[in-house]
Each structure stands twice: as structure tokens, then as C-alpha cells.
């Protein structure tokens, strides 16, 4: 049985990195000059290709009606636009400031948040994108500059991103969590580790929808960032949690909070990031998403979509609540049309 009336995966990467050649070069003088020592640093410099054949297979397998495509870590906007145009009933796309980042890496310009936001503004003006994400733009040369932004500096950058989102009346996404395995730097996304910072943005921009990418759980089994994201969402009507990497019990953290509930949750699995699901018999949680350093890079297409839907299926809540989490909230937030009225429980006044 299909789990919801209309299911939208709001966090999908339909592109893959052609990483073989660069992986062989890791540790050479060439890669050191390029500013990376492993795949996490190399990804932004790699060629990506269309991986939608596998995505469409999983969508059909699990009755997922639509996916919202994200560009991140070297993935480009152009492939996602092509997919939206080819499959208008299956895909929508978010935009990222990749052009600015690429020019900065090539030494053609100095990266600034103003330049990145100008690119986001231009992309959103085309009408081909429905939001900003994954996460907010950051300096792609952070490894070389070795400059750690303080809270005030990064918040001023985030405010410029919020200004663009406000202008175009689209959601903005803030990244949270870590997958494990990769040595994730602090500087690129310092807000990633500080969901409480978003209290200020949510208060200053009450008319802009803010979505916590991963809802504090990108990988692993530590729940501290999830707790912080839930707390922020409970204080602001415009803050939502993406939940696709939550195991079942994590959903209840939000569902039992009367200021969050199913109305503030949107399902998004990070499909395409190829983060493996760990099985640890006898522990809690017994399964969770995490990359393990000693195991190396996953080479197959991880079935995170199937795992995530099993976690949702275990929720003992009304079907109307499930329908909101799996698609109804995303349709409202992203202004996605549905052919029938009154199919989803009304939210708000």
C-alpha cells in the first residue's frame, strides 16, 4: 500500500560525481595544490553526470510522486533544470550559486556573499527554481583561506541570502548535521553546528520559510542537533524540519511537541548522497544512516528511500498527518499545485 496520497521527496541529488580519476590522484602534489586531500574536498571540483535513471527507478519502486532536486558539492543547476523540463510532473529544482563558486576557484573573481546572492537572484528570476538550497552559499576557498568566520560575520552573510529568498518569496534552507567519514570543516557552514543561530533569522524574517536540511540528522546516532532544531521550530511558525534521515523515534520528538507536530515536518531523504544505512543489532537505534571511515566510499546506489519510508510507516499517527509529512506540507511550502482540493488537512488559519 502506498504510504500517502501524494509523496514528495524534498531532498534529492539526481547527479553523481565522476570521482575515479580524482580519487587516484588524492595525496599527489596536484591535489594538494588544488586544495583537497580526499573526496570531500575534491567533490566541488569534479564533473557530475545525470543519475536520474536510478532515481526514477526508486521513485517507481516506492510510489514517490515527485522529487525536489538539490545542487550541492559540485553538482550544477543546469542538469536539474533539464530534468525538470523533461519530467515536469516528477521534478522541481532548487538553485545554488555554483557559477560564483567555480569562478572563485578558478581565480577569476574573489568570492563574496554579494556575488553569490546576485547569482541566486538571477537564477530565481528565471522562474525555473522554487527555492534556495541545499544550505546557504559559503566561501568555496575556505580550506585555503583558513579563516574561521565568527557568528556575527556568518549571520550577516545569511541575512543577504534571506533577502533574496524574501524578494522571490521562496523557502531558504539551512544545512545541519554531518554524515560521518568525511573530515567536515567548520568554516564553510558554521551555522550547521549551531541551529540556535536561526532563532534570530526566523525572528527577523517571519515572512520567509526556513527549512533545516536534515532536521539536525544528516548521519550518525547523536541527537543533540535534532533537539536544537526541534526547539527552534517550536518557537517560530516559519521554521520547518526535513525528516527523511530520522529513524522512527526521532519523529516523535517533533510530533509530541505541540508547537511543531506533523504540520512542520517535510520528508526528504538526501537520495543520491550515497550514505549507507548501518545495522547495529541490539543497539538503539538499530539502524541509522552513517558513513564509516574504515569502510571507504560506497560504490552502489544506497536504498535510503526504502529505509526511510519504513521508518515513517511505523508511526502510529493518523493518515491525514502522514499525508502532510509525506507531501502536503511540501506542496504548501513550495506552491506545488494538486489537481484536487480538500485532499490535505488545512494548516493554520
Backbone angles phi, psi at 167, to 5 degrees: -55, -45
What tens digit of pLDDT does each residue of 28-60 get? 555 444 444 555 555 556 678 899 999 999 999
Is residue 105 within 8 A of residue 46, CB to CB? The reply is no
What pLDDT is recorded for position 35? 46
**45 CB-contact burial (10 Å; exposed 0-12 / middle 13-18 / buried 19+):** middle
Stronger pLDDT, 104 or 30, i.e. the higher one = 104
Cell of 332: 504548501
- Output the CATH code of domain 8-334: 3.20.20.140
Percent of the chain with pLDDT strictly greater than 90 = 77
Span 109-145, pLDDT tens digits: 999 999 999 999 999 999 999 999 999 999 998 878 8
* Beta strand segments in 177-228, E: 210-213
Percent of the chain with pLDDT over 70: 91
Cis peptide, bond prior to residue 134, ω within 30 of zero: yes
Nearest to 45 by CA among 132, 129, 121, 143: 143
pLDDT (mean) for 149-165: 97
Report domain extents, the chain: 8-334
Burial 159-175 (b: 16+ CB within 10 A, else e): ebbbbbbeebebbbbbb
* 23 — pLDDT class (breaks 50, 70, 90): low
Which of the pair, 166 or 179, is modelled with greater confidence?
166
Closest to 266 measured CA to CA, from 317, 215, 205: 215
Amino acid at each position: 500500500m502506498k504510504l500517502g496520497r501524494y509523496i514528495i521527496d524534498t531532498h534529492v541529488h539526481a547527479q553523481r560525481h565522476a570521482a575515479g580519476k580524482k580519487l587516484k590522484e588524492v595525496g599527489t602534489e596536484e591535489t594538494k595544490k588544488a586544495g583537497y586531500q580526499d573526496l570531500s574536498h575534491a567533490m566541488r571540483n569534479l564533473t557530475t553526470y545525470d543519475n536520474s535513471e536510478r532515481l526514477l527507478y526508486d521513485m517507481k519502486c516506492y510510489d514517490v510522486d515527485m522529487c525536489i532536486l538539490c545542487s550541492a558539492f559540485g553538482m550544477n543547476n543546469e542538469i536539474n533544470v533539464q530534468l525538470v523540463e523533461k519530467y515536469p510532473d516528477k521534478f522541481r529544482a532548487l538553485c545554488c550559486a555554483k557559477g560564483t563558486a567555480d569562478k572563485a576557484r578558478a581565480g577569476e573573481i574573489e568570492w563574496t556573499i554579494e556575488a553569490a546572492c546576485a547569482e541566486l537572484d538571477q537564477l530565481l528570476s528565471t522562474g525555473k527554481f522554487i527555492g534556495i538550497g541545499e544550505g546557504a552559499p559559503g566561501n568555496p576557498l575556505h580550506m585555503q583561506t583558513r579563516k574561521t568566520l565568527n557568528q556575527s560575520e556568518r549571520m550577516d552573510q545569511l541575512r543577504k541570502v534571506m533577502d533574496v529568498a524574501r524578494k522571490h518569496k521562496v523557502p531558504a534552507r539551512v544545512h545541519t548535521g554531518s554524515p560521518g567519514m568525511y573530515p567536515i570543516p567548520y568554516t564553510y557552514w558554521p551555522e550547521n553546528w549551531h541551529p540556535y543561530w536561526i532563532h534570530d533569522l526566523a525572528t527577523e524574517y517571519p515572512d520567509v520559510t526556513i527549512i533545516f536540511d536534515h532536521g539536525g540528522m544528516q548521519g550518525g546516532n547523536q541527537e543533540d542537533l535534532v533537539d536544537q532544531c526541534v526547539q527552534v521550530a517550536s518557537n517560530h511558525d516559519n521554521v520547518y524540519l526535513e525528516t527523511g534521515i530520522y529513524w522512527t523515534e526521532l519523529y516523535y520528538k517533533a510530533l509530541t511537541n505541540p508547537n511543531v507536530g506533523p504540520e512542520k515536518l517535510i520528508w526528504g531523504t538526501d537520495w543520491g548522497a550515497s550514505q549507507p544505512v548501518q545495522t547495529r543489532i541490539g543497539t538503539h537505534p538499530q539502524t541509522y544512516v552513517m558513513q564509516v571511515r574504515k569502510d571507504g566510499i560506497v560504490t552502489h546506489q544506497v536504498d535510503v528511500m526504502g529505509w526511510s519510508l519504513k521508518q515513517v510507516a511505523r508511526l502510529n499517527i493518523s493518515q491525514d498527518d502522514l499525508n502532510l509529512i509525506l507531501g502536503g506540507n511540501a506542496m504548501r511550502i513550495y506552491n506545488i499545485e494538486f489537481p484536487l482540493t480538500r485532499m490535505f488537512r488545512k494548516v493554520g488559519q
